[in-house]
Structure 1
């Protein structure tokens, strides 16, 4: 098996798992299930709006787009493509780490809800990180890409806090200003921001110092 074939297969599996997890979570929400063990059951439109507001869902969407593209073209490149791939890589890593440290102890999920949770927060992050380390493509990370990739999480945080202030709903407990207060929320946001910056720095160093990926066809 050539390296290009192995890369295509890995990215294809990653894309299929990410899409499967997203569709499964969507079906569960349409059927009335909550996300992250929510206790309230608002109308369908509100549930769908909340679903796409989760950082987990958005990071998995970015991963799905990148993985499906790389399954066809393992050495794909482009100015904004690099930022999208980097944002997905770092975003899904943050998704897995934050879920494991902060959210997992709060959840009591069973059945398909448990399966969707594990796929979105554990399986997909592992596939993405291993795939990036093994197959790249690289070099793709510069300081310009880091700045562009940072736009998404910063906008997400600002939007989440603004919507929460207007509606009283926050996607994650550590961002709930009503329950935690602004000092604790800002401290949590600062810690997650530091985590983002550390992961971007790690991605930059690994990309710069690793062997360049071949120019696959």
Structure 2
């Protein structure tokens, strides 16, 4: 995809708009819920930014925004955003979806952040990402993000007892189980990263084999 591709840029703009709307909506909801429980708006923002889902949706919204503006990110950064949002959707569906039942506007925010944006971001990468630019050496770089998030989540939890997800709640399930969960999630990240790189190479080969003017 180039900076002059109007169709992909328009689609990226739609995804960006959905992402920013969902993020803003979730921020309003978490501030309202926190203040209703006697907490502060500052504390609500701190918790908001403590979720991997939120940070990753910010990353995807930023990537889609720059793409819509004709300044697409590097292939590696686009791959990292796509990989991370895919993990968000997967972990939510497999682990978290069954343990709560959001209602009203919270259900709207939940669906956008965990379902709609992940699916659209993955489809956008499949359809429009520059091909053949990802490398196996990108994988360890991509893993830095979830590992840093894990370290920060554990550090904060040790200080104030707040953990973003039940499978990271060391106060409830213990550090040994948390570490096991972290290893599993990291393995999922690495496996999906390898799939992403493999897909990129496979699609690049298919593109080179396609005759001129083919779809």
Aligned length: 204
CA distances 1:101-135 after superposition (whole Å, capped 9, x unpaired)? 11111112110011101100000000001111111
8 Å Cα contact 1:139/1:208 also seen in 2: yes
Partner of 2:213: none
2:38 and 2:145 map into 1 onto residues whose CA distance is 29
2:146 and 2:169 map into 1 onto residues whose CA distance is 17
Give 1:12 shift.
1.2
Partner of 1:32: 33
* Structure 2: gaps spanning 5 or more residues: 209-215
1:73 aligned counterpart, secondary structure:
coil
| TM-score, length of structure 1 as denominator length | 0.86
* Structure 1: gaps spanning 5 or more residues: none
CA distances 1:18-74 after superposition (whole Å, capped 9, x unpaired)? 11100111111232359xxxx955221111101011000000011011111112337
1:33 and 1:164 map into 2 onto residues whose CA distance is 18
Greater relative contact order (Cα < 8 A, sep 6+): 1
| TM-score, length of structure 2 as denominator length | 0.87
CA distances 1:132-161 after superposition (whole Å, capped 9, x unpaired)? 111112233113332322221110011111
Of 51, 54, 76, the residue aligned with 1:57 is 54
The 5 Å alignment of 1:1-217 reads: 4-32=5-33, 42-73=39-70, 76-77=72-73, 81-211=74-204
Following TM superposition, where does structure 1 have runs of at least 4 consecutive aligned residues deviating by more than 4 angstroms? Answer: none
8 Å Cα contact 1:9/1:71 also seen in 2: yes
8 Å Cα contact 1:83/1:146 also seen in 2: no
Structure 1 range deviating more: 25-34 or 7-16: 25-34
